[in-house]
Amino acid sequence: MKHINIGVKVSIRKGVVDMLPLSLAVLPWGILFGSIAVQRGFSWLEAQMFSAIIFGGAVQIVTVELIADNASLVTVLFTAFVISSRHFLYGLFLREKLSPQPLRWRLGLGFLLTDELFALSGHRRAYRGRLRLIYGLAAGGSFYLAWNIWTFVGIVAGAVLPDLTELGLDFAIAATFIALVVPEIKTLATLAAVITAAIFSLLFSLWEFELGLVIAALLAMAAGFTVQQLRRAS
Amino acid sequence: MTLLTILLLACITFGTRYLFLEGLLPVRLGSNIKQFLSYSGPAVLTAITMPILFVHTHQLDTSVSNPYLWGALAAIAAAYKTANIYWTVGLGTLAFAAVSSLHF
């Protein structure tokens, strides 16, 4: 019994630590969101509810502006849907691993399935067994807590804090994702996917195309798949 | 009214995250789709990373004075050599901070 508890503790600690660079990296954005929401006339409670139940950085920052500008409800919801559409990919990718799990795990991990948790879900054996589920819950849960704390700081102190988004903390996101992607490049097909994603994400980002991330990812996956098929055929 | 909008937005973020985790959803993934999806990790993470590195204030920045470039090169080298997340983030951040502090 004792070593099981140790396993749980280790899984929790590893989940929190692996997520830590990402939890810290979103500090400027959490503060930015909290402060925009209050400036644009939302109550403290409403602003905190965005982070507590919507829990999506880009969706929150974009929709809070739209609502404040009196955009129609349809526009607000449609925009949120477009930004959230990448989540379908995450669900599909994790479907085999998570769909056989009990409802409470699916609901909990599903709620926490941000870009950041998806990034830590790439392991071949991710979510296999209780300890790996606990690892995911600790990673996702600690990120949720961090995002809500940063939001709260933005709500109460956003007006007196400088804009921290130019500080470069987002580099930690890039470095973490590099750490996860580079060791995965073992085949020509994966390399093709990475290069395709790199080119199209830059193009779409410069065009400020909202669906850019999803489309770049789909093109990259198609490139990887095609190269794999060609190599298998030859 | 605002409260209702917040609730509907929460339904959208949660719904898009949860949908395919539901086993009752009649979706069967064939082997081709699974192969296709196996590239989603590198594809999505690269697509998030590149604009962080090279698009600043809506403009492409590939100059040698861009600290993100040097941080990324150090991180790629560290990831390639160690395949360890802590070394990669640590060395990448060090290079990023060093070049940032030079203030080109």
pLDDT tens for each residue of A111-127: 999 999 999 999 889 99
The phi and psi torsions of B32 (rounded to 5 degrees) equal -65, -45
Instruction: Report CA-CA distances (Å) from B61 to B18, B54, B88.
Output: 37, 5, 23
Do residues A32 and A62 share a domain?
A: yes
Instruction: Report CA-CA distances (Å) from A105 to A12, B22, B26, B49.
Output: 15, 11, 20, 29
Domain encompassing residue A29: 2-164
Q: Is residue A203 assigned to a domain?
A: yes
- Using DSSP's 3-state secondary structure scheme, residue B103 falls into coil
Q: Do A80 and B92 make contact, defined as CB atoms within 8 angstroms?
A: no
Task: Tell me which residue in B21, B36, B84 faces A106 most closely, judged by beta carbons.
Answer: B21
Number of domains in chain A: 2
**A3 falls in which pLDDT band (50, 70, 90)?**
low
Q: Which residues of B, range 68-87, sit inside 8 Å of A by Cβ?
A: 68, 71-72, 75-76, 78-80, 83-85
Task: Tell me which residue in A86, A208, A225 faces B36 most closely, judged by beta carbons.
Answer: A225
* Exposed e or buried b per residue across B17-55, where buried means at least 16 C-beta atoms within 10 angstroms of its C-beta: bbbbbbeeeeeeeeeeeebbbbbbbbbbbbbbbbbbbbb
Place of tokens 């991330």: A213
Answer for the pair A214, A85: CB distance below 8 angstroms, yes or no: yes
Residues of A in contact with B10 (CB under 8 A): 53-55
Nearest Cα of chain A lies from the Cα of B60 at a distance, in angstroms, of 7
Q: Which residues of B, range 26-45, sit inside 8 Å of A by Cβ?
A: 27, 29, 32-45
Do residues A227 and A113 share a domain?
A: no
Q: Do A91 and B21 make contact, defined as CB atoms within 8 angstroms?
A: yes
pLDDT tens for each residue of A39-73: 999 999 999 999 999 999 899 999 999 999 999 99
Q: Where among A130, A164, A198 does a domain terminate?
A: A164
Nearest-by-CA chain A residue for B81: A183
Angle of helix A86-98 versus helix A103-111 axis, rounded to 10: 150
Tell me the Ramachandran region of residue A41: left when phi exceeds 0, alpha when psi lies from -120 to 50, beta otherwise: left
Answer for the pair B72, A174: CB distance below 8 angstroms, yes or no: yes
Chains A and B form CB pairs within 8 A to the count of 254
**Residue B79 structure tokens:** 């990831």
**B103 falls in which pLDDT band (50, 70, 90)?**
low
Q: Select the residue from A182, A184, A228 to test the B interface by mutation, using most B Cβ atoms within 10 A.
A: A182
- Rounded average pLDDT over B75-92: 95
Answer for the pair A133, A11: CB distance below 8 angstroms, yes or no: no
B48 touches chain A (CB under 8 A): yes
ipTM of predicted assembly, 2 dp: 0.93
User: Taking the CB of residue A124, how many other CB atoms lie within 10 A of it?
Assistant: 6
Calpha distance A136→A106 (Å, rounded): 11
Do residues A40 and A77 share a domain?
A: yes
Domain boundaries, chain B: 2-102
pTM for the whole structure: 0.91
Task: Tell me which residue in A55, A94, A198 faces B13 most closely, judged by beta carbons.
Answer: A55
Calpha distance B73→B79 (Å, rounded): 10
pLDDT tens for each residue of A86-98: 999 999 999 999 9
Positive or negative: CA dihedral A198, A203, A205, A210: negative
